[in-house]
Amino acid sequence: MKSTFATLALVALAGTALSSAAHADTAKMRIAFSNNYAGNSWRQAMLKSYGIVTQKAVKDGIVAAADVFTTADKEVPTQAAQIQNLVLQGYNAIVIDAASPDALNGAIKQACDAGVVVVSFDGIVTEPCAYRVVVDFKAMGEEEVNQMAKFQPKGGNLLEIRGLAGTSIDDAIHQGILEGVKKHPDFKIVSSVTGDWDQTTAQKAVATVLPSLPAIVGVVDQGGDGYGAAQAFAAAGKPRPTIIEGNRQDELQWWKEQKAKDGYQTWSASIAPGVSSLAFWVAQQVLDGRKDIPHDLLVPYLAFTQADFEQELPKIPTGGVASHEYTLDESKAAIKANMK
């Protein structure tokens, strides 16, 4: 598996002295997690990873609380009000998966002005006072098309499945896909649908447009939608295209079955849901007095190829997503890597 996570672990082990900083300064502090959406397998895995790490951190006395708050809808005003309430409740830091990169900036600035540390990840915010744990989603989108060119060297028509509208992730991956198509002009995006990073939503959206589309050679997407797209093509009796996958268990299982049948080839990539645990540790380290943490930390996305995806598949729970929970040492290593 090509991953930077193993490298981070080695760096952390090599520099064990990094973990000697005292945690006493945060033992009485509380960290809240503001999450705008939990309606797909990635978000559920993300919350699970966050819970695994933070519950242990509370038990170990590193922080006093690490509470999770998920909005009842996907709307920006709801999350803005939630952030304001968390400030009023006296939380020392807020980790946030944001509904919008800029529409929450007012609430974020109010939190910072009140002395609250804000760390955004996945759905990041642009307010300068916040920290951002960033995956280069644009590069991931561009790489989708690069990979597609290997499997479909003659080019052809592509169907794009977009994610949750208004989020930084959706826009970044979309822009990357457009850049990829510019570099591979034999491809043409003939339709774009919204899948909300959810198999059921994606399947319905794809099924709606398929009857009116020309022959499709490939599907570029954002994760959580590959299996739904495959089901829609099968139900419509359409030829199976090359579908880029998003590290979900059902997608990789489908890929394995297709590979066994006739050697089907594709590529899979996504942000690891456990990046939520890295965001937590960044917040804890800032609260612990570290002044050298960059406000923008770049972390790798997790990708699988024809050669290694089957090794990962047994490790992913049914309905789950390939993930990685960060330890404190790995988080310190990731911070250090961003300081170079």
Task: Give CA–CA dist 76/69, Å, rounded.
Answer: 14
- pLDDT, residue 9, reads 40
Single-letter code of the amino acid located at 11: V
Question: Do residues 211 and 275 share a domain?
Answer: no
Residue 101 pLDDT exceeds 70: yes
Q: Does the residue 308 lie in any domain?
A: no
- Here the tokens at position 63 are 């922080």
Geometric angle at alpha carbon 184, from 182 and 190, rounded to 5°? 75
Q: Does the residue 50 lie in any domain?
A: yes
Q: Does the residue 331 lie in any domain?
A: yes
What are the tens digits of pLDDT across the range 109-143?
Answer: 999 999 999 999 999 999 999 999 999 999 999 99
Residue 95 pLDDT exceeds 70: yes
Question: Do residues 101 and 164 share a domain?
Answer: no
- pLDDT, residue 39, reads 87
Inter-axis angle of helices 168-183 and 137-151, to 10 degrees? 40
Question: Do residues 125 and 248 share a domain?
Answer: no
Question: Do residues 151 and 163 share a domain?
Answer: yes
Task: Give CA–CA dist 40/97, Å, rounded.
Answer: 14
pLDDT band for position 18 (50/70/90)?
A: very low
Question: Do residues 220 and 103 share a domain?
Answer: no
Question: Do residues 261 and 199 share a domain?
Answer: yes
Q: Are 210 and 232 in contact (CB under 8 A)?
A: yes
- For the chain, what is the largest distance between any 2 Cα atoms, rounded to a whole number of angstroms? 63
CATH number (domain holding residue 35): 3.40.50.2300
Q: Does the residue 262 lie in any domain?
A: yes
Number of domains in the chain: 2
Question: Do residues 251 and 160 share a domain?
Answer: yes
Distances (CA, A) of 285 to 6, 11, 331: 22, 18, 9
Domain that holds residue 83: 5-136+271-303+317-338
Residue 5 pLDDT exceeds 90: no
Residue 13 pLDDT exceeds 50: no
- pLDDT, residue 104, reads 97
Q: Which of these, 173, 161, 44, lies nearest to 97 by C-alpha position?
A: 44
Q: Does the residue 181 lie in any domain?
A: yes
Geometric angle at alpha carbon 89, from 107 and 102, rounded to 5°? 15
